[in-house]
Structure formats: C-alpha cells, structure tokens
Structure 1
C-alpha cells in the first residue's frame, strides 16, 4: 500500500524484470543490460480498471516478460483495493506520483510511465505538473488518451458521462463496475491533456491511439501530438485497434516496452 500526498491509500503491485540479463554468445557469460534492469515501468489503468484486472495483469506480464523493466501497477483511488473516490483524472495525478516516487525509492535509475485512457490523461498531466521533482518520469507513453475534457461526441463517452454525473450512474459504477466515484464536480477544472503536453519536453513522449477507438476519434491523438510541438512527440496510429488496455495486444505492448526502455 502506498500513500499519496493527500493521504489516500493506494494498492500497488511490484514485479521485477524477468529479463535483462543476456548471454554474450562468445564466452557464455551473463551480462546485465542496465538500459533494461535499471528501469521501472509504472502502468496506469483506465477508468473502472484496477491493478487486479486481467487486462492490466496481462499488460504487466508482457512488459516484464519481454524484459522491458520491472513493472509497477496500482489501482487509482476509488478503484480496486485503493481508498478514496475516483475524481476521473484530476487528483489521480497524486496516485501516479506516489507510484513513481516509490519506484525511485527502490533504486531504479529510470522510471517511465505508460497510461491507458483515463490513465493516459493522468500520465500526461503528471509529467507536466511534476517536472523537476522526484516524481518526474524519464519517458511517457499515453495510449487511447483524450485530448480535452467533457467530450461527448461518441455514444461510448455519453454513457461514461452518465455514469459519472448521475446518482444512478454512480450507483451502477460502484455496484456493477467496482468504481467509487466522487459526486463533486471539478473545482477548479484541471489542466486539460492538450495543454499539459507542451510542458513535458524534453522528456520523451509517445502518443498511441487505435483507428477504431469507440471512445475518442483520431482528432484527439493528433491534437496531442500537435500541441507537443514539432519533433517533441512520436505518434503511433494503430490500424484496427480499439480502446485502451483491453485492445492492446502483445505485439503493441512489446513495442511499448522497447520504446520506454530505450528512450
């Protein structure tokens, strides 16, 4: 259990890298690859997810099994075994910061973040807001992240807003989805992802989005990449991919691991 700056208890899981020691092929001597084993990937799930969800565990296994790094997964506030209530991307920045700081305390020279959907918006904002602090990541990847708040342009997002804003929706979220949602509106409205990305450089930034995402169309990742500035972000538009960790296959996760550990 980790504790955030505002006192919320956050459940987390630490998985050491399962690779990172390679054979030279000449003498048979095992050689430690510091680019891999000195890195920890902190994985931030999407709304209604948790550290124990099968899609999150699968992503963590691929990243660790691929030898990308040690992997830290955690449940955002209001999700899984964590305390508090979900603020749907606002104070979740503090949850991610606690996980990044904890990974550094374990001795990892590099700590990188990857977030999915809501978690994608959080890794972008956290990288901008925590620059120059021990919570600052060394590389950031956002998958299926929104560019702006209050988007209702797809049926899927209209359903999400119903869950968040309606008492009966929050009840369904708690009983059916295991997500405890704060009833209070944002005050003030947090920095939008599209305004956060220009503040991330020179930290390496990757934006990943599927061209069949039912929640956020392609103008969201394109807006994020454009806002970062010329050459400040890589943009991967994935053919046939849907939304977030549920749609991220092993091949994409392996590429993410390579990108995160080699920046």
Structure 2
C-alpha cells in the first residue's frame, strides 16, 4: 500500500456520516470508522455529494433483500484519493475522482464492447448492493462496532468512503466540485440516454418528459448530437427558461393539453 502524507494510510479513519437505521426515518449524523482499502480498492475523502432520487426511493424501501440497515446512502459525489490498496495503478493519493455505482472492470467482453458497458463480472456477483463487490464485506463500522452497510458501491453520505477501483473515474481536479458530483449519475444517465440508448441523430426531433436533472442532461446530450428540435414537457413553466440553457427549443405544459393527445401537440 502506498504511504500517505497524512499518515492515515493502512489505518482506520474515524469520521462523520449520515446513517439510515430504518426505512423512512431521518438520517442521523454519527461517528463511524472507515477501514483502509483492501486490494483493488480506494479510500477517498468526499468533497461534495448530491442527492439523487434513487437515494430517496431506497430510503423509503423496506422490502428485503433490497432494504438492509443501518446503511450509508449517497452515490453522486466527487472526492480526493486518501489512500489506495494493493494492485491499484489507475489512481494515486491526491487524485480527484468520481465514484460511480456502475462498475467497469475493463476486461470482460461487455466492458470492451462498443454497444454497452454492462460489466458482466461484477453485476452477476452477489452482495454488491450492500457491501464491497469482491469480498462482499463492509468497510464501515459504527462507534459500537456494528457493521454499517454500503449503498450502490459508493456510500457518499460520509466524510470518507471506500470504493472498488472498478467504480472510480479520475477527473481534472480543477472541475467545480458542486457540478462535478452530478457527473457520476444524473448527467451521464441523461446524456447517455440521448447518445447510447436513443441514438439521437443530427436534425432529429426529441421530446423529453420531465425537466429535472436527468431530463436536462438528456437535452444537453441531444443538443450535442445536433437535434434540431428539443421539446421539454413539464408541469412547471419555469423549467422552460432553465431548459433553454441546455438546448430545449420548445416547451409543453401537459396540463393544458386535456383535449388533445400530447403526441399530437408535440
């Protein structure tokens, strides 16, 4: 393991985290202990994290085996590498990284395919929702020694977290952290929908239902692909002005389309 200028490499770190102990209950800020990274793992200091609707949906979920507590939510974030485990060569201490919940081993046929990146190595392994994907154990402990579970292989609602190298992307450290954290989920989901799923072509017309963060990212992706008409559909008219900044050319409020199918209005 590489040495750390802070002297914390190879040792547990005590820090604060937002813990969910029961579905739907308020998160509690508690002191936890974060283990050092094992082989192929990276421990990072979270600089900024955002709230995704997937966090909210999972917070409400109380159905096993998807709901398990206590756990640390959060998966849209940006951080700095504090230390790395053995066999990690892609990043080093001090690098700015995005933890991403979608793994990429880089070696399997699916990761190498130009048609998608649904890693077949880690997706098919058990326990990767609640724990680390290689040994299926947690790197978090409460002050009483109780195991605290991971969420989507990231758990960014913590000052420090441990992430597998397959879930890390190195980025430029000059990127504003409050914007960069959105790249790890919302932005890539929306842009990817336009580029990889819909395959938006130059001159095409695109309709986007809902101008939240993902919808706006779809608009940006469609704009970059040369769509000539990008229709934003949302109940909030204020979203149109915001949407224009991301390429939305037309706006439809479906509440005013009661006498006509929305498809005709578009």
TM-score after normalising by structure 1: 0.23
**Higher normalized helix content (fraction of residues):** 1
**Higher normalized strand content (fraction of residues):** 2
Higher RCO (C-alpha 8 Å, min separation 6): 1
